[in-house]
Structure formats: structure tokens, C-alpha cells
Amino acid sequence: MNLFLDAFGWLFAPEQWTGADSIPERIGQHLFFTVIAFVIASIIAIPLGYLIGHTGKGREVAVAISGAARALPSFGLILLLVILVGVLQIGPSVTAALVILAIPSILAGAYAGLESVDRRTIDAARSVGMTEWQILTKVEIPLGLPLLISGLRSGLLQIVATATLAAYVGLGGLGFDILQGIQTRNYPQTLGGAIVVVVLALLLDALFGLLEHFAVPKGVRGARGGRIASEAKAPIEAQKAGGVAQGVSAAGR
């Protein structure tokens, strides 16, 4: 209990919120890495996921690659890319690692969203003369949007958690306080830094949770299509539970 009190004492000390190495600056650095990696991963994964979900081709390959990517150790991947690319390109190396780790969740959300759409709905759209592009943009994407947002939500949490490891290669972010606390045996600082990471992740998770809720079309809420979407979302939700814990525990090591 004393450790938690000391951690909150460190966290709310005035000097932690002003100056060059303040918590707001660390949050800004952390969000900078997060946003760049999230945007790049989304640009890559969403079109590919929609292509797989609409055509049904390449799903097995995508599942295999996504599964392999999820098994990659975050810290090891960052160090490997830093070594391969070079210490002068640490920023791009870390960004590439975050993108690789986020793509599987976003890709799964994109193609699972389209696959969750009732085939009878798609057949009805074809029967009234809609083109494949119209079916994709006016039927499949709107109905599959909740699952896509769920995948984006999971990928974002993966990035937020893993970005704490950027401090180990000198990029700062919220992992800096965790690392510095371990090195100096200032455990209140380590715990305080971890608390900030968790709070940031929870806030972003809540934001995407609201987006996911409002993304469900009113006409299909509670319908069978909604139940299918919930079942398809289960594998994506299972990834989020360990996302933040993985990044913080890896930083603690």
C-alpha cells in the first residue's frame, strides 16, 4: 500500500507536470509514436481486409500470417529492427515494429466485419441490381463497421502498450519513467509511469468503445446480424485483454 501511495505522490508532484521531462511531454511523445503507427497500420490492413472479406480469397493465408505476427515478441522485434536498420534510424525501426504488431488485429476486424454480414442480405442486394462496388460500400462496410472498429480498438491498445518499449532504444515516451525508475530503483516512479500508461490505454479504449457502439446501424441492432457480429468479434476481443499488460510487463522486465 505504501508503494501505491508513494507512486501517487510522485505522480501528482508539481515538478512532474512542468519542464522538459514532464508527464505531458512524455504523453505527447507516446501519442506521436502511436498515431503514426496506427495510421500506417490502418492504411495497410483495412483495404487488404476488405478485399479478403468481400472476395473470400486469401483468408487462410491472412489468418496464418496474422497468427504468426501475434506470436512475435514485441521487445525482440523492436531490437531486431533497430539492429537491422541501424541505430541512426531508431524512429522508423520502432514505428515499423509497432505497425507489424498492430496489423493483425486491424486486418482481422476488417475481414471479419465483412464476413459477419448475412449472406442473404448480400444476395438481396445483388438481386436488385447493385454492383459489387455498391454492395461493398453500401451494404458490407456499413454493416461490418462495428467489427472493424473493434479491430482498430485492439490494434490501438497493442500500439499504446508496446510503445512503452521505445524508451529502451532512446525514444522516450511513457516508458521512460518506467525504465528510469527500474535503473535507479525508484519504484514509485516505475509504478507511477505504469499507471499513466494504463490510464491512457483505458481512455482510448473507452473512446473506441463508444465509437463501436454508435457504429452499429440502428436498423440492425438486436437483429440476427448483430448476433453474428458479436460471435465473430470474440477472437478480436480476446486479444485486447493481454495488450496493455504485455507492454507494461515487458517494460518492467
Tens of pLDDT along the chain (253 residues)? 688 888 888 888 888 888 778 899 999 989 998 999 999 999 999 999 999 988 888 888 888 887 887 788 888 888 888 888 876 678 888 899 999 999 999 999 999 889 888 888 888 988 898 888 888 888 888 888 989 999 999 999 999 999 998 888 878 888 988 988 988 989 899 999 999 999 999 999 999 988 888 877 666 555 544 444 454 455 555 555 555 555 545 555 5
CATH number listed for the domain at residues 2-252: 1.10.3720.10
Side-chain-side CA neighbours of residue 15 (13 Å): 3
Prediction pTM value: 0.81
